[in-house]
Amino acid sequence: MNVVLFGPPGVGKGTQGVRLTKDYQLTLLATGDLLRSEVKSGTSLGMKAKAFMDAGGLVPDDVVVGMIESRLVDQGGLLLDGFPRNTAQAEALDRMLASHGQQLDRVVFLCAEQDVLVERLCGRRVCRGCGRGFHLQYDSPKVSDVCDHCGGELYQRDDDHAEVISQRLAVYEEQTAPLASYYEGRTGFYRIDGSASLEQVHAELVRALEG
Ligand code: AMP
């Protein structure tokens, strides 16, 4: 099964995506994580992407499409988080899957109001070691700034600061939100309220994947 999870920044795609990949033995392809790892390793791709990411914009399509294409080969079922992010990427994904004799089986649109997203993004902290996400208010670590799972240091992503958040949300509205119309009407398209609790959203996602 190939699944796309899309929606605004902060809606919970990452958290829910990790859980679903375990439940359904899918391979997670999260373009934001892949790009951050390229930046951290100082690769030429990472150096190309960094300025766009720091400014809250989208990394050019050829860079991200190439990154996904090189990982499509020989994967079992996929869960794509953060890709596609505009219509050109969605068309490229359809083409790439078709060239491997595959298709998208589920497309899930997780949505939430802007005030919920801003609150979630501002309070988000991420472990430098294992990458797990926390929230200062809703999912706080037992010891301040320390990961409960691996003891790593928690940090705030550069693009989770207020000025960059508003730019990311504007880019989402302009470029990514139109994907709802691109996918609406396809078999396997679901819209889920991402502002509900983690457990409720997970239950809805399971219903969508089983549906
Ligand atoms: P995320 O972790 O999904 O919030 O992504 C962090 C940043 O990575 C985004 O703000 C973009 O700059 C970049 N990025 C992630 N996925 C894509 C994509 N599919 N297309 C372009 N840029 C992306």
Query: What does the domain layout of the chain look like in residue ranges?
Result: 2-112+162-210
Whether the upstream peptide bond of residue 8 has omega within 30° of 0, thus cis, is no
Ligand 1 mean position to 23 CA, how many Å? 25
Residue nearest to atom 6 of ligand 1 (CA): 32
Assigned token pair, 129: 């070691």
Mutation to probe ligand 1, out of 11, 40, 53 (largest number of atoms < 8 A from CB) = 53
Strand partners, 190: 108
| pLDDT at 72 (0 to 100) | 86
Strands (E), 45-201: 78-81, 106-111, 124-127, 133-135, 154-155, 189-193
Beta-sheet strands, E only, within the chain: 3-6, 27-30, 78-81, 106-111, 124-127, 133-135, 154-155, 189-193
Q: Distance from the CA of 10 to the center of ligand 1, in angstroms?
A: 12
Task: Output the six-digit token pair for 78.
Answer: 């996929």
What is the biggest distance separating any 2 CA atoms in the chain, rounded to whole angstroms? 49
Specify the DSSP element, H or E, that contains 182. helix 179-183
**Of all protein residues, whose CA lies closest to atom 11 belonging to ligand 1?**
58
Ligand 1, atom nearest to 56 Cα:
10
Q: Report which residue type is found at 105.
A: D
Q: Place domain 2-112+162-210 in its CATH homologous superfamily.
A: P-loop containing nucleotide triphosphate hydrolases (3.40.50.300)
Q: Are 191 and 8 in contact (CB under 8 A)?
A: no
* Predicted pLDDT at 32: 95
- Three-state secondary-structure class, residue 133: strand
Nearest to 161 by CA among 60, 55, 85: 55
Model pLDDT, residue 76: 81
- Between the CA of 175 and the centroid of ligand 1 the distance, in Å, is 12
Catalytic residues, by residue number, are 13, 85, 124, 157, 168
Which mean pLDDT values do the consecutive 10-residue runs of the chain (211 residues) have? 96 94 95 94 95 96 95 85 98 95 96 96 94 91 96 95 95 98 96 96 97 86
The CA 42 to ligand 1 mean position distance, Å, reads 17
Which protein residues touch ligand 1 with a CB less than 6 Å away?
9, 31-32, 35, 52-53, 56-59, 64, 82-83, 85, 89, 159, 168
Q: In the prediction, which pLDDT does 74 show?
A: 66
Instruction: Identify the residue whose tokens are 């309220």.
Output: 193
Looking at the CA of residue 31, tell me the nearest atom of ligand 1: 16
The CA 186 to ligand 1 mean position distance, Å, reads 25
Protein residue closest via CA to atom 5 of ligand 1:
32
CA pair distance 4, 83, nearest whole angstrom: 7
